[in-house]
Amino acid sequence: MSKDLTIEHHHETHSTGNRPVHESTHHPEGGEVFTHLISEIGDTYELNLFFVRLPILPVILVDDGIHIYPNLHVMEESGAFTLHHSKAPFKMVSTTKVDAAGNPLAPALNLSVTNYVAYEWIAMAIVTILFLIARRRYIEHATEAPKGIQNLLESIVVYIRDEIVVPNVGTVKRAVRLMPYIMSLFFFILTLNLLGLIPGWQAATGALGITMALALTSFVVVNYIAFKDAGPRAWFSHLLGGAPAYIAPIMVPIEIVSLFTKPFALMIRLFANMTAGHIVILSLLGLIFFSKSWFVTPISVGFSVFIYLLELLVAFLQAYIFAMLTSVFVGLALGDHAHADNHHETERLH
């Protein structure tokens, strides 16, 4: 495979969503409103802010070389790849390569920056800026009582350390090692959830791929700490679940399955909760256009506001649950070793 670099230059285009630029705009009516609104919460190759799709995200494809396009429309104009193939709509495929059945082939590797990836970058930037502000406050006013953002962040960090991490992982030393990861999880998920509540923005945690990646990091961290702190022998004996060795052929497969069901539950819980609320809100608002009646408007708007407030609670709750369960899983994986640190000391926080 050649490694030639193909870079296309930007041409001015007008965004019409994921439709080709030459198509006329279609305004959904009646039952089409639901389908249109649901499609708005999906991932795209354009940045979706305040109900406007901005063609500013680069498309990066690896297929007989590296192809880089400044946005989706330039890629479509190049003619090499498309999202609008009749046999594969809304899927990135080649316009010239087909398989034995005549179906278009996808590029070997798609490294494009999508809408949800951009939201993740925004969330990381917000969290980083907030903690830099708090850090600067600690440096410049080390002897003063915390206030403002500094006080808010410190209260959350201390609460999660003392009420979530330490009680579950057993020792202060282990909690201190785990805190950077748990805090990153909590604030990253919370910020993504809150961004999704801004009208015209989207909840990236409503994407299965993102929650899967978060759950995968939890799986790696939990088992790494258990393997490192408890030791290989204790980790493997934990697969017996406390049962006698002669029933290992039964218990070991069950325990191995449980290793994966825990992060899987984290993934589905976060995805389902963040997706369900948005679908309900969009469906309630869609009733206004579906019925075409002013009498439905107060009911739909009223219930939508109620669900929105419930979503605000869920945004905090899901970040808390993800951090809490990850800490709980660490303690469960350590078993009897949860209350001893690397050097088998028995001192604990009282």
Per-residue pLDDT reduced to its tens digit, 173-199: 888 899 999 999 999 999 999 999 998
Of 113, 130, 164, the last residue of a domain is 113
Please determine, for residue 282, whether its predicted confidence score (pLDDT) is greater than 60.
yes
Contact 40, 48 (CB under 8 A): yes
Residues 294, 327 share a domain: yes
Contact 85, 15 (CB under 8 A): no
Question: Using alpha carbons only, what angle is made at residue 19 by residues 81 and 282, rounded to the nearest 5 degrees?
Answer: 125
Instruction: Average the pLDDT over 118-137 and give the result.
Output: 95
Contact 219, 263 (CB under 8 A): yes
pLDDT for the residue 238: 73
Could you tell me if residue 344 is inside a domain?
A: no
Instruction: Average the pLDDT over 5-19 and give the result.
Output: 40
Of 113, 138, 157, the last residue of a domain is 113
Please determine, for residue 233, whether its predicted confidence score (pLDDT) is greater than 80.
no
pLDDT for the residue 112: 93
Residues 156, 106 share a domain: no
Q: Mean pLDDT of all residues in the chain?
A: 82
| pLDDT confidence band for 10 (50 / 70 / 90) | very low
How many domains, the chain?
Answer: 2
Residues 267, 138 share a domain: yes
| pLDDT confidence band for 90 (50 / 70 / 90) | confident
Per-residue pLDDT reduced to its tens digit, 287-329: 887 777 788 889 888 999 999 999 999 999 999 999 999 999 9
Could you tell me if residue 348 is inside a domain?
A: no
Could you tell me if residue 294 is inside a domain?
A: yes
pTM summary value = 0.82
**Can you give the chain as a three-state secondary structure string?**
CCCCEEECCCCCCCCECECCCCCCCCCCCCCHHHHHHHHCCCCCCCEEECCEEECCCCEEEECCCEEEECCHHHHHHHCCEEEEECCEEEEEEECCCECCCCCECCCCEECCCCHHHHHHHHHHHHHHHHHHHHHHHHHHCCCCCCCCHHHHHHHHHHHHHHHHHHHHHCCHHHHHHHHHHHHHHHHHHHHHHHHCCCCCCCCHHHCHHHHHHHHHHHHHHHHHHHHHHHCHHHHHHHCCCCCCHHHHHHHHHHHHHHHHHHHHHHHHHHHHHHHHHHHHHHHHHHHHHHHCCCCHHHHHHHHHHHHHHHHHHHHHHHHHHHHHHHHHHHHHHHHHHHHCCCCCCCCCCC
| pLDDT confidence band for 340 (50 / 70 / 90) | low
pLDDT for the residue 27: 53
Range of the domain at 107: 5-113
Of 57, 92, 113, the last residue of a domain is 113
pLDDT for the residue 227: 85
Residues 192, 215 share a domain: yes
